[in-house]
Structure 1
Amino acid sequence: MDQHQLAWLLARLGTATAISDLEGRHARLQDTRAVALEVLNERRAALITDPLRVTVQGITLDTTENLRALERLLADVTTERSPDGPDTAAPHILTITPLRPANRRR
């Protein structure tokens, strides 16, 4: 994983994310977008397993907005261009096709 890919990941996942963890995932998955999606899905799953809203002695802890933010980030990472992959947000406008002579008889 090069510095550009690492910077892209840290910009989406935060600088508190362990670089060694990201490098291990990238070595296994071979795709920067897949690494980001895997980390974000794990974070989302961790939020879902806990109650989204807890009230203790009049103090309420609500993580619903955190879940919504993670889902928006997942959607953004899915559609934006990653440093090592094709742009999935843009349609393929240019296609490379080999040219062959026509099979014509004169």
Structure 2
Amino acid sequence: MNDEILHWLQAHLGSEVDLPDLAGRYERLQSARAVAAEVLRERIAGLVAEPLKVTVNGVATIDNSPNVAALERQLAHLDDEVAPDTHLDGARLLASVQLVARPRR
């Protein structure tokens, strides 16, 4: 895993991620997008495993459902991102338009 991939992963997962863990996942999955998706799914699973909303009457309310929704949105938008290790062999589109002079009035 090179620095460009590491910076891309940190941009999507935060700078507090465990670097050896990311390197191990990247070696196993061979894709930065797959690593990011796996980490995001684990975060979602961790939040869903606990009660999403806890209320202590008159003291405090903790609601993690917006966090789950945000992580799910981030996971959905991950497919639109181009990771540094994405191979675009033949997928680049080159369009050309021929310009033709109009007759003068």
Q: TM-score, normalised by structure 2?
A: 0.79
Match of residue 84 from structure 2 = 83
How much identity, in percent, do the aligned residues show? Answer: 49
Q: TM-score, normalised by structure 1?
A: 0.79
| Aligned counterparts of 2:16 and 2:66: Cα–Cα separation in 1 | 20
Give structure 1 stretches of 5+ with no counterpart: 95-106
The one-character-per-residue Cα deviations of 1:42-101 (angstroms, maximum 9, x if unpaired) are: 0001111111100124311001110111011101112211111146xxxx465xxxxxxx
Following superposition of structure 1 onto structure 2, how do residues 11-90 of structure 1 map, counting pairs within 5 Å? Answer: 11-58=11-58, 59-86=60-87
State the aligned residue count.
Answer: 90
Give structure 2 stretches of 5+ with no counterpart: 94-105
The root-mean-square deviation of aligned C-alpha atoms, in Å, is 1.4
Runs of 4+ in 1 over 4 A off after TM superposition: none
